[in-house]
Each structure stands twice: as structure tokens, then as C-alpha cells.
């Protein structure tokens, strides 16, 4: 699909329409539990920054869809406008749940009830690297979906024959892309959460081992000092 879009084939879609932002929606992904380092703290901090960006719209026109108990608690505490509860997605990501949330956002966007949707989540790169991401969900930015290669470089001629029509094809494909995008983000966040938890527990274990070593050394020093004092008392008494 990226190469198809890169061919500059004209088509129209309600999900591509960019308009002045009067109402914004933010979908923030966190975990349901703690013990995962700064994972939730960074998500909440980023959420606060994004909400502050839209503060000129008014509190009622900035909607937050919290995915995860930690961010949901933060939204309530901060007094933001919360729509729905999606803790099940954070606990066990599923395509069905992502489909329902994406459908809700898409319907509101097409109905002009919201003008922009942003996502805040952690992108899983490896077990040791997770990147905090803030990106638009709606309207779709086609420039981020195209392939950054020239025809001469990749050797592919971008001349597509589409049946029944480009418009009908994209009418079907674009919603599916949005559904899978949200599902992929939920999986990304879930994997990043567990990776962050593993790193946090490894760090805690290393700190505990280091503390045990320090306490053992301190105990041995105290014991040695006590033995030395007793020997000095014995020697002093015998004299």
C-alpha cells in the first residue's frame, strides 16, 4: 500500500480531511499495574504536555481515551475529560477491542465531532529500547505512509491498474489500515510495558545484590572490630 500511495494516485477519503482543530481527542496507552520503571510516568507527562497544547480549546473540547488503569487514574486526578475505560486493551490486547475503539474515533471524526486524534504510546524496538511516541491518528498523513525511494533506485515502475477503481479500493483499505494501526499500537505498548518491567526488575535485583554485599562487608568489619576489642581486653587484663 505504501508504494501504491507513493504513485500519487488521486482519491478522496473522509479520513484525509484536515480542518481547523476545534475539538481534539488523545488516546494514551499505559499499563494496568506498577513495577515497570518510568513507563507510566513518562506517558502521563507526555499526556499533560499534549493537553496543555490544546488548552486554548477549553477543557470540554479535549477528550482523553485512557488505555490502561494508570493513565485512567491520572486523567481523573488531573480533571481531564475522560471518554470510556479501556483497561482490557492494556491487560490483553485484541483486534476486536482495538477495532471498537478505532471505529468510535473514526465515526466521531467523520461526523465532525472531533477534528484531530493523537496517539501517545511506547514503541517497542528491542528488549532494551522502547521509544515514547506521539503521533497523529486522524486525519491520516499520507506523507508518512509513502516510500521514500525513487523509481530508478528500487527498480519498480509505479504504474498500477486497479479494478474496479482506485476510489473503491481505498474506501475499503483505509479503514482497515486504521484498525490495524490501533491494534499494532496496543501490541507495541504491551510489549514495551513488559520490557520495561524486566529492565526495572533486573535493576532492582542488581541494587539488592549490591546492598547485600555492602551489608555483608559492614557486618564483617563490625564482627572483626568486636573480636579485636575482646582480644585487647583479654591482653589488657592479663597484664
* Model pLDDT, residue 145: 64
Assess if residue 225 is contained within a domain.
no
CA distance 192 to 131: 9
Tell me which of 237 and 17 has the higher pLDDT: 17
* Model pLDDT, residue 74: 96
Q: What's phi and psi for 140, nearest 5 deg?
A: -70, 135
Average pLDDT (34-62) is 93
Q: Which three cell numbers, joined as nine digits, stand for 164?
A: 474496479
Looking at the structure of the chain, the number of domains it has is 1
Assess if residue 185 is contained within a domain.
yes
* Model pLDDT, residue 156: 60
* Model pLDDT, residue 2: 62
Reported as a pLDDT band with limits 50, 70 and 90, residue 162 is confident
Assess if residue 212 is contained within a domain.
no
Grouping H, G, I as helix, E, B as strand and the rest as coil, residue 148 is: coil
Cβ–Cβ < 8 Å for 25, 106: no
* Model pLDDT, residue 157: 57
Assess if residue 234 is contained within a domain.
no
Tell me which of 214 and 124 has the higher pLDDT: 124
Assess if residue 174 is contained within a domain.
yes
* Model pLDDT, residue 99: 96
Residue 148 has pLDDT above 70, yes or no: no
CA distance 173 to 159: 19
CA distance 53 to 118: 12
Q: Given CA atoms 201, 70, 103, 143 in this order, what sign does their dihedral have? A: negative
CATH number at residue 134: 3.40.1380.10
Please tell me which of 6-10, 88-92, 151-155 the model is most confident about, judged by mean pLDDT: 88-92
Reported as a pLDDT band with limits 50, 70 and 90, residue 9 is low
Residue 66 has pLDDT above 90, yes or no: yes
Range of the domain at 182: 2-196
CA distance 138 to 15: 7
Q: Tell me: the pLDDT tens digits for 170-204?
A: 888 899 999 999 999 999 999 999 999 888 777 77
Assess if residue 53 is contained within a domain.
yes
Tell me which of 184 and 156 has the higher pLDDT: 184
* Model pLDDT, residue 123: 96
Residue 158 has pLDDT above 70, yes or no: no
CB-based burial, 140-169: b 16+ in 10 Å, e otherwise: beeeeebeeeeeeeeeeeeeeeeeeebeeb
Cα-based angle 166, 171, 175 (whole degrees, multiple of 5) = 135
- Mean pLDDT over the full length of the chain: 87
Assess if residue 110 is contained within a domain.
yes
Q: Tell me: the pLDDT tens digits for 77-92?
A: 999 999 999 999 998 9
Q: Which residues contact residue 51 at a Cβ distance below 8 angstroms, ignoring those fewer than 6 apart?
A: 26, 62, 64, 78, 80
CA distance 185 to 99: 12
Q: Tell me: the pLDDT tens digits for 113-137?
A: 999 999 999 999 988 889 999 999 9
Residue 59 has pLDDT above 60, yes or no: yes
Assess if residue 223 is contained within a domain.
no
CA distance 238 to 230: 12
Q: Which residues contact residue 73 at a Cβ distance below 8 angstroms, ignoring those fewer than 6 apart?
A: none
Cβ–Cβ < 8 Å for 95, 114: no
Tell me which of 149 and 102 has the higher pLDDT: 102
Amino acid at each position: 500500500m505504501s508504494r501504491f500511495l507513493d504513485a500519487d494516485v488521486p482519491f478522496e477519503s473522509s479520513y484525509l480531511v484536515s480542518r481547523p482543530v476545534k475539538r481534539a481527542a488523545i488516546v494514551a496507552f499505559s499499563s494496568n499495574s506498577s513495577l515497570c520503571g518510568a513507563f507510566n510516568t513518562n506517558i502521563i507527562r507526555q499526556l499533560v504536555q499534549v493537553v496543555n497544547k490544546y488548552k486554548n480549546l477549553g477543557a470540554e473540547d479535549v477528550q482523553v481515551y485512557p488505555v490502561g488503569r494508570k493513565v485512567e487514574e491520572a486523567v481523573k486526578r488531573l480533571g481531564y475529560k475522560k471518554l470510556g475505560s479501556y483497561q482490557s486493551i492494556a491487560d490483553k490486547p485484541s483486534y476486536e477491542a482495538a477495532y471498537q475503539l478505532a471505529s468510535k474515533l473514526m465515526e466521531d471524526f467523520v461526523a465532525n465531532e472531533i477534528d484531530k486524534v493523537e496517539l501517545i504510546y511506547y514503541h517497542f524496538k528491542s528488549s532494551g529500547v522502547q521509544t515514547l511516541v506521539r503521533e497523529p491518528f486522524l486525519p491520516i498523513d499520507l506523507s508518512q505512509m509513502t516510500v521514500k525511494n525513487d523509481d530508478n533506485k528500487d527498480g519498480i515502475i509505479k504504474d498500477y491498474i486497479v479494478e474496479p477503481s482506485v476510489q473503491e479500493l481505498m474506501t475499503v483499505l483505509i479503514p482497515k489500515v486504521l484498525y490495524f494501526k490501533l491494534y499494532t499500537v496496543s501490541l507495541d505498548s504491551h510489549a514495551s510495558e513488559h520490557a520495561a518491567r524486566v529492565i526495572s526488575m533486573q535493576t532492582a535485583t542488581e541494587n539488592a545484590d549490591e546492598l547485600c554485599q555492602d551489608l555483608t562487608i559492614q557486618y564483617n568489619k563490625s564482627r572483626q572490630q568486636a573480636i579485636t576489642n575482646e582480644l585487647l581486653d583479654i591482653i589488657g587484663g592479663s597484664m
